[in-house]
């Protein structure tokens, strides 16, 4: 996993719980934690951090990842160059993750492997299928939920199918909190 994701998680933890908490999480997980945005680090380091946070907070790992995702989106968006065109409405934005944002990420962070999001109109909503060998659908869930805050519009994200962790389906709707 790219270091930028660890940087963002660190920012989220430090800003929400303080710098010491980040130190403690690293200690608990037995990690050095010297993350550099362009560096590559094993996925299990993220899993270990989430497990440590889960132990300390009493929340399940899925809830921890969802919360991290929710808080991470604005920080990830800040890291995109201003030349990347951003959609100005929630549904278009969700589509653009797969069509614009992650393709740009591939150029910005060589050798990165962002997940695939297949989007399909579904009546009044958007069916979003997450596919990734990293198996982090809860992170995706949280990031999708953050679209709500980003546009200050109520957006609901419901996980409707759970084939397995590498292949989850969300139904995203605007106007339903």
Partner 1 sequence: MNRAGEPGDEADRLRRLERRLQRERTARRTAEQIAESRTRDLYEANRDLDQQIMERTAELDRALVAATRASETKSAFLAEMSHQLKTPLNGLIGMLELVDLDTVDDCNSERLTVAVHSARRLERLISRLIVYSDLDGADLTRSPRHRSVVDVVSDLHDRWSGDCLQVGQLLSVEEIMEADIVVAHPPLDLALDEVMSNVVNHAGRGAVRIQTRLVQAERTDEVAPHDVVLRILDPGPGLPAESTVEVDCLAPGDPTRTADRPAGLGLALIDAAVRALGGNWGPVIEGYQNGVAIRLRAAVPAESA
Interface residue with partner 1, options 1, 8, 29, 35 (CB under 8 A): 35
Residue 121's DSSP bridge partners are 126
21 binds partner 1 per the rule CB under 8 A: yes
Stretch that binds partner 1, among 35-43, 118-126, 132-140, 158-166 (CB under 8 A): 35-43
Residue 89 tokens read as 């409405």
Q: How far apart are CA 137 and CA 19, in angstroms?
A: 27
Minimum CB distance to partner 1, residue 43 (Å):
18
User: CB under 5 to 8 A by kind: which of partner 1, ligand HEM, none does 76 bind?
Assistant: ligand HEM
Q: In this complex, which beta carbon is closest to partner 1, that of residue 59 or of residue 166?
A: 59
Q: What's the Cα-to-Cα distance from 29 to each of 39, 43, 87, 95, 139, rounded to whole Å?
A: 19, 13, 38, 35, 19
Which residues bind to ligand HEM, rule: CB under 6 A? 1-2, 4-5, 73, 76-77, 79-80, 97, 101-102, 105, 109, 112-115, 132, 134, 136, 139-140, 143-144, 147
Q: Rule CB under 8 A: is residue 15 a binding residue for partner 1?
A: no
Contact between 113 and partner 1 (CB under 8 A)? no
Cβ 176 vs Cβ 102: under 8 Å: no
Q: How far is the CB of 75 from ligand HEM (least distance, A)?
A: 9
Q: Are 90 and 147 in contact (CB under 8 A)?
A: yes
Residue 23 interacting with partner 1 (CB under 8 A):
yes
CB-count burial class (<10 Å; 0-12, 13-18, 19+) for 62: middle
Whole-angstrom distance, CA of residue 26 vs CA of residue 54: 13
CA–CA distance, 31 with 45 (Å, rounded to integer): 7
Min dist CB 110 to partner 1, Å, is 8
Residue among 19 and 124 whose Cβ is closer to partner 1 = 19
Q: How far is CA 4 from the centre of its chain?
A: 12
- Binding footprint of partner 1 on the chain (CB under 8 A): 17-21, 23-24, 32-39, 56-57
């Amino acid at each position: 996993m790219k270091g930028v994701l660890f940087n963002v998680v660190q920012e989220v933890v430090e800003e929400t719980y303080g710098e010491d908490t980040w130190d403690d999480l690293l200690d608990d997980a037995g990690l050095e934690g010297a993350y550099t945005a362009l560096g590559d680090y094993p996925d299990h380091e993220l899993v270990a951090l989430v497990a440590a946070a889960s132990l300390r907070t009493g929340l399940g790992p899925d809830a921890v990842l969802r919360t991290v995702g929710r808080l991470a989106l604005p920080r990830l968006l800040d890291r995109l160059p201003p030349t990347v065109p951003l959609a100005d409405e929630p549904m278009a934005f969700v589509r653009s993750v797969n069509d614009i944002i992650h393709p740009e990420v591939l150029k910005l962070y060589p050798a990165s492997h962002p997940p695939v999001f297949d989007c399909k109109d579904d009546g009044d909503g958007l069916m979003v299928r997450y596919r990734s060998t990293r198996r982090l659908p809860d992170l995706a869930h949280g990031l999708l939920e953050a679209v709500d805050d980003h546009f200050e519009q109520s957006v609901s994200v419901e996980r409707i199918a759970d084939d397995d962790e590498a292949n989850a389906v969300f139904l995203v709707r605007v106007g339903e909190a």
